[in-house]
Structure 1
Amino acid sequence: MSDKALEALYPVEGEYRLIAIKLAEARQLFNTLDPAPFEMRELDADAAAWLLDAGRELHRERKLKIVLYLPAPDARIADADMRGAIRHYFHYRAMKYRQHLRHLFRIGRQSLAVGLAFLIACDFVARYLLNGPAEHLGLVRTGVSILGWVAMWKPVEIFLYEWWPIRQDERTCERLMTAPVEVRERKSGAMATPAAVSTLSSANAQP
């Protein structure tokens, strides 16, 4: 994304890059099926996805601020609940990413041990059990050697490619967890809120 497009979507205010969401009411931010108190409640899927995607796009920004635009009555009473809910949610998501990463590395270590053992076995078979002048044995030796290296694809994939997107998402959640959260009054008028903010569907606000 170009700097101009980034500026339009996530405006700068002082030292912060803003991630803004317009809400029709405070409960629209939350999963309405979750019976927990507001500050412990799971976020609405659309709101959580918007915040996480924004955090990914702004991974190079040093300071983020989450701004929630609400009608006046909700804006006055929801401030602390909103902050607590967002921090709790992304703390939980960061913890889940860490757990996933530990599980992935455990699978990687196990796959590496199995792959290496199988590679050594294939190399032994190719060198000593299929050692002969016949032409077809040469083809079989090559096939067995390739099979041994193919067995290494899983640990190689894990340790070269699979782990770092999970680590990035963990760090994104940690940044969102610690980002300041500000609730502002959503006023009528074209210039009341930034033009490029996420507006959650009012359907999510139904009980």
Structure 2
Amino acid sequence: MTSKIAENVVEIRVDDIAQLFHTLDPFPFREKDLDREAEEYIVGWARELPADRPFRIVVHFPEGQSQTDLARDLPEALGKYFAGRAGVIQGDLNELFRIGRRSLAIGVAILVACLLGSNLASGFLAEAPFKKMVEESFLILGWVANWRPLEIFLYDWWPIARRRDLYRRLSTATIERKLYRRETRAGVTSSNAP
């Protein structure tokens, strides 16, 4: 008995397969960049679907283009594009963590200096209200210096990791090609036209 897991399906219909790709991209078909609008459409729909199922991307295009290089290379081109984007996003995440580590080192050093400054202020200043204000100011400054690293390590990385995971899932999606007949003005299909 086989268990069939339901797939997330993203469907896109184009009048020309070339619409999917960036027109000014100089690379051959398998290396082409996806058109920004096509990427936003696919990613937008994929983001709305459950994360626990595999993806299937169905591309509808005219039957006259079924034997073109673009049609043949479409699954590989989409897979490579989304894998490349996942790699770029992983690089962004690595950079964010690098900034977080550097910020944390600076923040901890400032916190230690502020704690020392607070202790020195409590020992050298005689006037009680002014002494308390200086001590508290040092403590506040020390914790504020750690605000950004804490924000990075607690919150900022989640959306980036989710986006990376989405692109990784899209890179392994099954790409299905479906043909349709183009209709002319009078409602006659182009294959029947003289």
Q: What's the TM-score once normalised by structure 2's chain length?
A: 0.84
Aligned position for 1:5: none
Which is greater in Rg? 2
Counterpart of 2:166 (choices 159, 166, 172) is: 172
Q: Take 1:125 and 1:29, find their aligned partners in 2: how far apart are those partners?
A: 61
Counterpart of 2:86 (choices 80, 94, 99) is: 94
Aligned position for 1:162: 156
Equivalent residue runs for 1:31-180 within 5 Å:
31-77=22-68, 78-131=70-123, 132-134=125-127, 135-180=129-174
Where relative contact order (Cα < 8 A, 6+ residues apart) is larger, the structure is 1
Post-superposition CA distance 1:132-182 (Å, at most 9, x none): 341112112111110110000111011011111111111111100000001
Is contact 2:83-2:167 (8 Å) kept?
yes
Give the deviation of 1:89 after TM superposition.
0.6
Is contact 1:75-1:184 (8 Å) kept?
no
Three-state SS of the structure 2 residue aligned to 1:169 is helix
Give the deviation of 1:61 after TM superposition.
3.8
Q: Which runs of 5+ in 1 are unaligned?
A: 1-13, 190-207
Q: Take 2:122 and 2:65, find their aligned partners in 1: how far apart are those partners?
A: 77
Is contact 1:87-1:176 (8 Å) kept?
yes
Q: What's the TM-score once normalised by structure 1's chain length?
A: 0.79
Aligned sequence identity (%): 36
Q: Take 1:15 and 1:116, find their aligned partners in 2: how far apart are those partners?
A: 49
